[in-house]
Amino acid sequence: MSVAVCAESFRVADYDLAATLQSGQAFRWTPQGGGWEGVIGQRWVRLRQTASDRIDAEAAAPVAHWNWLRGYLRLDDNLAAMLATFPPDPPLQAACTACRGLRLLAQDPWECLASFILSSTKQIVQIRQIVERLCVRFGTAVESPAGTPSWRAFPSAERLAALPEETLRSCGMGFRAPYLLAAARAVAAGQLDLAALPHLPLSTALARLQTLPGVGPKIAHCVLLFTGAHETAFPVDVWVFRALRQLYFPRRQPSAARLRQFTATHFGPHAGLAQQYLFHHVRTQIPRS
DNA sequence: TGCCAGGTCATGG
DNA sequence: CCATGACATGGC
């Protein structure tokens, strides 16, 4: 499917596109000719940071407006103002300095939920592989310009809900197959309203997500943070846990409860962004992985 | 070859 | 509450 392209250029400040797209919050962006290709919703997109203050975008025509991209990339966030709310502690400030321009995205809730259900005890490379297989096999084709690989949308909840568990399992997701299927069915049936999550209190939104099998606190926080639903969502995975322990509790291991209380209070109104800086910092500083 | 991966769940102190 | 093991699969 070949189609004409519409282009636009956005002025940005403090935006590191590469770091943002590779920071483990989204799993489909692919480096391509000095830029990044991917799909947002039902649309093929190519992004390229051409200067520290500029991001160029191309998308399959027609493009009536670019609000969907502004929204996804959160281009209207005032990063400096958000960083200014952070506590002035040395570890966090070091992470902010090292990862200048790292941003949060506002992704589609279903794709984000499904992807993070697949993420448990998987390396990011493998999560990407499973997601890719799902898209190739069950996603609808999206139009892209000649010369680009064929791209597909992330499969809808309805589509996945109709599949047998074994078919999902054959994408290499192992024991996560029944979890993904249950989530797809809950969303497709309207039993879980993802669109409502931003309007609920954080604790309620977390509880809703955690009614799904295979969705615990970590994945629930990820979904609420990476869809732009809750700024104080604070996923604690193995990396963030190690970072928090080393940086803030060097003496003695904090209890789970103590740690939860700390992450819920110490980092302020943009705690989730702080989490992303800590995560990306430890993952890029420390050799390998 | 074996260890381990952006976890969660069930079980037993 | 806290600790432990199982759960599939594959990169390194």
Tokens 């604070």, residue located = A234
**Pair of tokens at residue A288:** 């390998």
Check residue A253 and give its pLDDT. Answer: 85
**Interface residues, strand C, Cβ cutoff 7 Å:** A 121-123, 125-126, 129, 169, 172-175, 255-257, 288
**A121 CA to B7 C1' distance (Å):** 6
Blockwise average pLDDT, block size 10, chain A, 289 residues: 90 98 97 94 98 97 96 98 97 97 98 98 97 98 92 98 98 98 98 98 98 98 98 96 92 90 97 97 71
Report d(CA A127, CA A223) in Å as an integer: 15
Q: Is A122 a catalytic residue?
A: no
**Pair of tokens at residue A274:** 């702080």
Check residue A288 and give its pLDDT. Answer: 38
Task: Identify the residue whose Cα has the smallest distance to the C1' of C8.
Answer: A174
Residue A41's φ and ψ, nearest 5 degrees, are: 65, -120
**A265 CA to C3 C1' distance (Å):** 27
Check residue A286 and give its pLDDT. Answer: 58
Strand ranges in chain A using DSSP code E only, listed in sequence order: 5-11, 30-32, 35-40, 43-51, 54-60, 141-142, 151-152
**Pair of tokens at residue A55:** 């991001």
Q: In 3D, which of A284, A222, A282, A276 has the Cα closest to residue A247?
A: A282
Q: Which residues touch A260 (CB under 8 Å, ≥6 apart)?
A: A236
Catalytic residue among A218, A230, A280, A283: A218
| pTM as predicted | 0.97
Residue A32's φ and ψ, nearest 5 degrees, are: -155, 110
Whether residue A10 contacts residue A41, with contact meaning beta carbons closer than 8 Å, is answered with: no
Check residue A104 and give its pLDDT. Answer: 98
Looking across all nucleic acid strands, the nucleotide with the smallest C1' to CA distance from residue A174 is C8
**Pair of tokens at residue A79:** 């990063």
Whether residue A138 contacts residue A159, with contact meaning beta carbons closer than 8 Å, is answered with: yes
